[in-house]
């Protein structure tokens, strides 16, 4: 004979079983639940795809993170180091041995296959490396299109201003799943530029002339990255009135009329500071009279170009123009910290001599 407690337990058990069957039946017969189950699959699949729009306006779809990367542009090759992707690089641009940052931060780059330059890109050599991603400057549009026809994902970039450089960082970091590191790099730019802007807000803007590396009379126009650098550093680019070209070649007479207070020589110039100071044709210029001629350091990278470390070029120039507000020793410390943070190397601060 069953006790009352046993009967209660039996009834409870049967109710649980009945409820379970009821729920199963509902899930089979309820269209809303059925559709919800069907919809959950595709959402998970779509979330693995990454779509970026490059500087040619092309949409590039990545179904998985690229493992084999080719960079045909020194600016993005350096960026790949800053994003921690150096071990994924299987091919780079010509002239790796001429870029000190590679030897310091990614020495394996010196032994990688060479895919040529913007003037002579090796399309077949690049394709033979079987890359999942190729990064090229927009001026190689034809190569971009040909690689695309071969089914290779290509990102075309044009980092000719700080904003365009940050867009380049966004594109590559998003495609490679290194968003967090990319955001950290951009945040550094924003904080330093804001700091400099506040620091020089009330300071007089000195008139700056920047000479190109192949010819002292070659100079960046308003359209060049170097113009933004001078402005961000709290200076005035005397050749910013030129806006119909990129690198402009001016005459001695034009330079005398500009009469800059500071002259900057870019990294790897074929002439020296002494050549400028001793040029009889320039002796009436204020910068020459006061000896305010400076060569930008080139022990690591060409900071006058839009490489990831170009912010250091702006910081260096700001210290030159406003050393009373931004002492050079502070700049040296901050440059060392930048390379420690983003390139995982220790630099010799003595290489940053003024």
**pLDDT tens over the chain, length 354 residues:** 444 444 444 444 444 444 444 444 444 444 444 444 444 444 444 458 999 999 999 999 999 999 999 999 999 999 999 999 999 999 999 999 999 999 999 999 999 999 999 889 999 999 999 999 999 999 999 999 999 999 999 999 999 889 999 999 999 999 999 999 999 999 999 999 999 999 999 999 999 999 999 999 999 999 899 999 999 999 999 999 998 888 999 999 999 999 999 999 999 899 999 999 999 999 999 999 999 999 999 999 999 999 999 999 999 999 999 999 999 999 999 999 999 999 999 999 989 877
Cα–Cα distance for residue pair 23/38, rounded to 1 Å: 18
Would you tell me the crossing angle of helices 310-321 and 179-199 to the nearest 10 degrees? Answer: 10
Its pTM stands at: 0.83
Question: How far apart (Å, rounded) are the C-alpha atoms in residues 304 and 210?
Answer: 10
Q: Which CATH superfamily is domain 202-346 in?
A: Nitrogenase molybdenum iron protein domain (3.40.50.1980)
Instruction: Enumerate the CATH 3.40.50.1980 domain ranges in the chain, comma separated.
Output: 50-186, 202-346
Q: Give the C-alpha separation, 332 to 50, whole Å.
A: 39
Q: Look up the CATH superfamily of 50-186.
A: Nitrogenase molybdenum iron protein domain (3.40.50.1980)
Q: Distance between CA atoms of 26 and 18, rounded to whole angstroms? A: 12
């Amino acid at each position: 004979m069953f006790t009352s407690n046993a009967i209660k337990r039996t009834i409870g058990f049967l109710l649980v079983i009945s409820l379970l069957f009821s729920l199963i039946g509902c899930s089979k017969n309820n269209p809303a639940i059925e559709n919800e189950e069907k919809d959950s699959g595709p959402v998970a699949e779509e979330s693995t795809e990454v779509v970026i729009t490059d500087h040619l306006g092309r949409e590039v779809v990545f179904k998985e993170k690229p493992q084999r990367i080719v960079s045909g542009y020194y600016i993005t090759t350096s960026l790949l180091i800053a994003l921690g992707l150096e071990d994924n690089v299987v091919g780079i641009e010509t002239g790796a041995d001429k870029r000190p940052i590679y030897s310091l931060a990614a020495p394996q780059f010196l032994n990688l296959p060479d895919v040529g330059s913007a003037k002579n890109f090796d399309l077949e050599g690049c394709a033979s490396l079987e890359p999942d991603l190729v990064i090229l400057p927009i001026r190689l549009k034809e190569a971009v299109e040909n690689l695309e026809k071969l089914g290779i994902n290509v990102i075309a970039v044009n980092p000719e201003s700080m904003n365009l450089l940050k867009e380049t960082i966004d594109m590559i970091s998003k495609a490679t799943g290194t968003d967090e590191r990319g955001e950290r790099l951009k945040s550094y730019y924003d904080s330093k530029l804001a700091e400099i802007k506040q620091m020089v807000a009330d300071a007089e803007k000195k008139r700056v002339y920047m000479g190109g590396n192949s010819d002292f009379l070659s100079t960046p126009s308003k359209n060049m990255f170097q113009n933004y650098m001078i402005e961000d550093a709290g200076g005035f680019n005397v050749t910013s009135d030129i806006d119909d070209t990129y690198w402009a070649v001016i005459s001695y007479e034009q330079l005398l009329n500009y009469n800059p207070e500071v002259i900057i020589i870019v990294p790897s110039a074929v002439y020296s500071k002494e050549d400028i100071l001793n040029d009889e044709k320039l002796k009436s210029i204020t910068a020459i009279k006061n000896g305010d001629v400076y060569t930008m350091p080139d022990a690591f990278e060409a900071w006058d170009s839009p490489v990831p470390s170009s912010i250091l070029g702006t910081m260096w120039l700001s210290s030159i123009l406003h050393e009373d507000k931004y002492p050079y020793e502070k700049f040296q410390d901050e440059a060392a910290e930048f390379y420690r943070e983003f390139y995982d190397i220790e630099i010799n601060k003595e290489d940053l001599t003024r």
